[in-house]
């Protein structure tokens, strides 16, 4: 139970930070779009230029990698710095990265008003990875 509590704690923190950035960047895209609707003569004023400068057209793609559950891990997984533990976590991260790069969800069309696009590849429910074993399966959200 303590291990699951840590999973939730760490995931909640990352999700809240990402959600906030997504919200802020969405508003910056809206500012950019609104500025385009302001008549040219008004848009040239110093005040409107300052306000419009808060707009942004950048699209950020966040590839969120989730650490799969490793066979035999327990509530001390976040402080396991043994060579075997580090190797297993490194291999799991490498496998997740390969799956994400292979799926390349950032190549798909996106809503132009969204400034932050989150990409995740979900794990098969209940699937555990044996330490150092490739083949973590899932699908893109």
Domain ranges of the chain: 2-140
CA proximity to 119, closest of 111, 134, 108:
108
CB atoms within 10 A of CB 127: 12
Task: Pull the structure tokens for residue 119.
Answer: 């990409």
Residue 125, pLDDT score: 44
Residue 51, pLDDT score: 94
Global confidence as pTM: 0.59
Least confident residue range of 4-8, 43-47, 115-119: 4-8
Per the model's pLDDT, the better-predicted residue between 133 and 29 turns out to be: 29
pLDDT at residue 5 greater than cutoff 70: no
- pLDDT (mean) for 39-43: 92
Per the model's pLDDT, the better-predicted residue between 120 and 137 turns out to be: 120
Q: How confident is the model at residue 33 (pLDDT cuts 50, 70, 90)?
A: very high
Residue 139, pLDDT score: 34
H/E segment holding residue 119: strand 116-123
Q: Which of 79-83, 95-99, 131-135 has the highest mean pLDDT?
A: 95-99
Q: Which residues pair with 120 in a beta bridge?
A: 64
How far does CA 83 lie from the centroid of its chain? Answer: 28
- Please state, in angstroms and rounded to a whole number, the distance separating the CA atoms of residues 77 and 5: 12
């Amino acid at each position: 139970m303590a291990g699951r509590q840590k999973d939730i704690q760490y995931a909640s923190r990352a999700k809240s930070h990402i959600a906030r950035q997504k919200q802020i960047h969405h508003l910056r895209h809206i500012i950019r779009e609104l500025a385009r609707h302001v008549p040219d003569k008004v848009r040239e004023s110093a005040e409107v230029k300052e306000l419009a400068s808060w707009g942004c057209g950048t699209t950020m793609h966040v590839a969120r990698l989730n650490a799969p559950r490793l066979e035999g891990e327990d509530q001390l997984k976040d402080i396991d710095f043994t060579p075997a533990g580090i190797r297993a976590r490194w291999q799991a991260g490498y496998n997740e990265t390969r799956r994400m790069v292979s799926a390349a969800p950032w190549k798909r069309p996106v809503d132009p008003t969204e400034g932050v696009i989150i990409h995740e590849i979900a794990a098969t429910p209940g699937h555990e990875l044996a330490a150092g074993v490739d083949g973590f399966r899932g699908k893109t959200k």
